[in-house]
Each structure stands twice: as C-alpha cells, then as structure tokens.
Amino acid sequence: MNIDFVVNLMDYIVIRPLKKTANKMPKITADNSADIRLFIPVFLLKKLAKHRLTDGLYPVSLGITQAQNNYKLQQENNHSHTLIYCLSGTGKLVYQNKERVIKRGDIVIINPNTPFTFTLNKSPKIAVNSTSPEPQNNKPEHKVSSNIVYWVNFTGTLAHDFAERLLMKMDLGVAHVGVLNNIVSDFDHLLALGARGYTATNVIHAVHILQQALSFLALQLRLTQFNNSSNFDLEAVEALMRNSLHQELSLDTLAHYSQLSKFHFAKKFKELTDSSPIQHFINMKIQHACSQLDNSDIAIKDIANGLGYSDPYYFSRLFKKLVGMSPKQYRDSRHRA
C-alpha cells in the first residue's frame, strides 16, 4: 500500500507522512493511542456561529499527531486561526519567511489566511517496560512515540481577540510555555467530543474548555516571559502588601523593597497585573474589609481604622466606589441571595 497520502483537514490544512515505507502503513502509537482528527460538522458550525454562548470562539477542527515518521501540517488558505502545541518531540516551522525549530513545550499561533508549514521531525520510539508479571530483567518491551503534537483551528467573533492576547507575548507566533498538564487535559476533553456526541450541552462545554485553555495560555505566557526577563518578585511584593494592610504603603517604599526605581517598578508591576501598585494595594485592603464584613460584627469604623483609614467616611466612600455599595449595605446584603 502506498502511504503517501494527503488529507484535507479544513480549507487546505493537510497532514501527511513524507516518506514511503515498504508495502504497509506505519503504525502510529503513543501509549497505544492512534492519531485523532476531529472535524466539527458543517451543520453544527452554522449553529455555533449563531448561538450566543458559542459565537465568540469555537473549534473548527482539531487533533493530535503522534507519528514517528515525518509528518507535515500545512496551511495555504485557512479562514480560522491555528494553534499548535508540541507536547514532546521536535519539528520545523516555516512561517512568515522564517524557519524555526519547535521544541517540547512550545506553542504556535497562526493567523488566518497566512501560509505556513510545520513538519514533525522523525523520532525514534521510546522503549517502555511492559506490565507483564515476568521477572524484571526479562520484561518484554513495547515502544511508544516520542512525538506528540496537538493542534486546533478556531474561529468566532472573539477569535482575533483571544489570538492577540497570545501573540502580544510571542515571537512571530512562537513561544515556550512548557508542559502544562491542564492544557493537555483540556485538549483531551475537546478530542473526546466526537465520542460523547454533538449534543448542545456537550458542544457548549467543549467551546468553553477551548476558551479556558486559550485564556490560561495567555496568562502563562505573561508569567513566563516576565520571570525570564526580570528579577522582579511579584509574590514577594504582594506578601509585603498583605502584611501591611493596617498601614499605608508608598510607591517609594514598594520600589525600594524591589530595588528598582519608581518608574521601572510601576511599569513592571502594571505589565504583570494590569493595575498600578497603589491601586492593587487598595483593592487588597477593600477585599480584606469585605471578608471582615462577611465574617464578623466588627464596627465599620474599627475595620476602617484597622486598614489604616482614620477617617471612616473616606473609607466608606472608597469602599462604595470599588464595590458599588456602602460597607453597611454590603454587610446587610450577606443575608440575602
């Protein structure tokens, strides 16, 4: 049997082995699992594009490739975004006139209608001992693939926004996030959709798993990039804030603690939290006040004083500005749904 084949995935996405093997199809395994490709039916895509719970972001096609032989994933004219996640093995990406090596833990985001080629490198199988009850030294071995790559094509009214949250922290669509068990679990749940069936409940759940995965990857990229490029310790700064809720903290104090200038400290802090340091500190104080209002009968003026606000009226105005109701209204509301 000739194994040179081309399979249209969606709008000219193709997967194919590059070399021939004598008279038989190669056996593709990873922990005894075969490749999986899942295409959302056209009738369902039309519904996803119109339903208010799914029109923002939904998968068009997805899969997992676990081949030992060279495999190619390429796009010539695809109207959806493409995400590739390399769980193990290596590959070569040709995109935007650049050739890149994709390694274990890397992700790739490709914009719509942008040609690319991703070739999974040939990889030897890894020998794994069988669970047979034979003596340890005589245990038979079976071999599994060391290549595992997930991919998904996604679209929707918010697809560009989700992709941009990732791309803003990537180098021409490529970044390293590491091996993330929750992302692997999310992909596996998505791939199980075909077996569970295309009921409305199953599909809506799958759509929100995809949104969750993309949101987490954006967060992970931000944390990874920041940690790799800076000695700034956000956890230590937040610990200082938590231990100082009873008093004021100035930007000078926080910057000095981090051994940075005020400008660089504020800039780095906002890059990581989307908030200024002082506003973040105030938010922590108000959250602590909410906890005390929920779980104690401490007088509001005493809560304010314990958070460094000597003027309870100022505290009440600040609380209402952030929470949307006064401290008294908030406390009274704890007995209502």
pLDDT in tens, 143-195: 445 789 999 999 999 999 999 999 988 889 999 999 999 999 999 999 998 78
Give yes or no for residue 301 having a pLDDT over 70: yes
pLDDT at 126: 53
The overall average pLDDT reported for the chain is 82
pLDDT at 274: 84
Distance between CA 303 and CA 290 in Å, rounded?
Answer: 10
CATH of the structural domain 234-335, one choice from 1.10.1330.10, 1.10.10.60, 1.10.10.10, 3.40.50.1820: 1.10.10.60
Structure confidence at residue 272 (pLDDT) = 80
Angle at 314 between CA 258 and CA 273, to 5 degrees: 30
* pTM as predicted: 0.68
Determine the straight-line distance between the first and last CA of the chain, rounded to whole angstroms: 67
Which CATH code fits 7-228?
2.60.120.280
pLDDT score recorded for residue 229: 59
Do 7-228 and 234-335 agree at the fold level? no
At residue 35, the pLDDT reads 81
Domains of the chain by residue range: 7-228, 234-335
Flag whether pLDDT at 75 surpasses 50.
Answer: yes
* Structure confidence at residue 12 as a pLDDT band (50, 70, 90): very low
> Distance between CA 303 and CA 240 in Å, rounded?
20
Structure tokens at 290: 């909410």
Structure tokens given for 186: 């999310």
Res. 337 pLDDT band, cuts 50 70 90: low
Q: For every residue of 252-274, which 3-state class applies, written as one string?
A: HHHHHHCCCCHHHHHHHHHHHHC
User: pLDDT tens for residues 239-261?
Assistant: 999 999 999 999 999 999 999 89
**What pLDDT shows up at residue 278?**
96
pLDDT at 228 over 80: no
Q: Indicate the helix (H) or strand (E) that contains 313.
A: helix 312-323
Whether residue 30 has pLDDT greater than 60: no
Give me the pLDDT at residue 120, please. 87
d(CA 256, CA 11): 55
Q: What is the mean pLDDT of residues 307-330?
A: 95
